[in-house]
Amino acid sequence: MHRTILIVEDEPILREIMKDYFINEGYEVLEAGDGKEALSLFQEREVHLIILDIMLPELDGWSVCLRIRKSSNVPIIMLTARVDEDDTLLGFELGADDYVAKPYSPPILLARAKRLLDSRVVRELAGDRLESSGIAVHLPSRTVTVDGTNCNLTHTEFEILTYLMKNKGIVITREQLVIKIWGYDFVGDDRTVNSHIRNLRHKLGDKSKCIMTVVRSGYKFEDHA
């Protein structure tokens, strides 16, 4: 099955370079030069991953990400020429799965996209269902329910939850999470992990207590009534 990448970048040359790399790898590519066009394409077509520049005309990348996250957990990689850590964290708070700073290497961007699309963490899990304390994860469909109610997680939030549940009762360090979810080449710090954990806990509601913080160590998943 051909997977479709939506590239949202207002610089035509950069957009064309990215497009060529993904097409050469067998992906279908949709292009948008501004935020409004991106949202229109997303509503009209099935998209499997979005590469989203922040500084866009009409509607910036943060606004596009926020609107998409209201209805979809499609993986989103954000691009930025800005290196401010607070900007990076804002992207994660809004639901971005990864962050790449300009100038970037197209092969590295392609590798990160493949990592998100291939869902390595899910493939490594045995069986097709995880369940604990009212939280149920169906791996093939990548759906999560909490006490029977659908819980809409982003790609990265889903990966973190399944990894913690698979290792229930075991302390997972932030470094382990970074390597497992983002890979060895990820450039970030503890605040990146903390941001995703905070979003995940918020969505789990009362069940958030299942994800315990182990001071100066990391996190672990435990059963709770």
The CA R_g of the chain, rounded to the nearest whole Å, is 17
Assign 27 a pLDDT band (cuts: 50, 70, 90): very high
Two structure tokens written together for 218: 């990391």
* pTM, two decimal places: 0.64
* CA-angle at 216, arms to 212 and 86, nearest 5°: 85
Per-residue pLDDT of 119-135, as tens digits, reads 544 444 445 788 899 99
Q: Which residue has the tokens 């500084």?
A: 55
Least confident of 99-108, 118-127, 192-201: 118-127
Provide the pLDDT for residue 126.
Answer: 47
Largest Cα–Cα distance in the chain? 55
- The answer to whether the CB of 53 falls within 8 A of the CB of 9 is yes
pLDDT at residue 146, rounded to an integer: 93
* pLDDT tens figures, 197-212: 999 999 999 999 999 9
Question: H helices within the chain, ranges in order?
Answer: 12-24, 35-44, 61-69, 85-93, 106-118, 120-124, 155-166, 174-177, 190-204
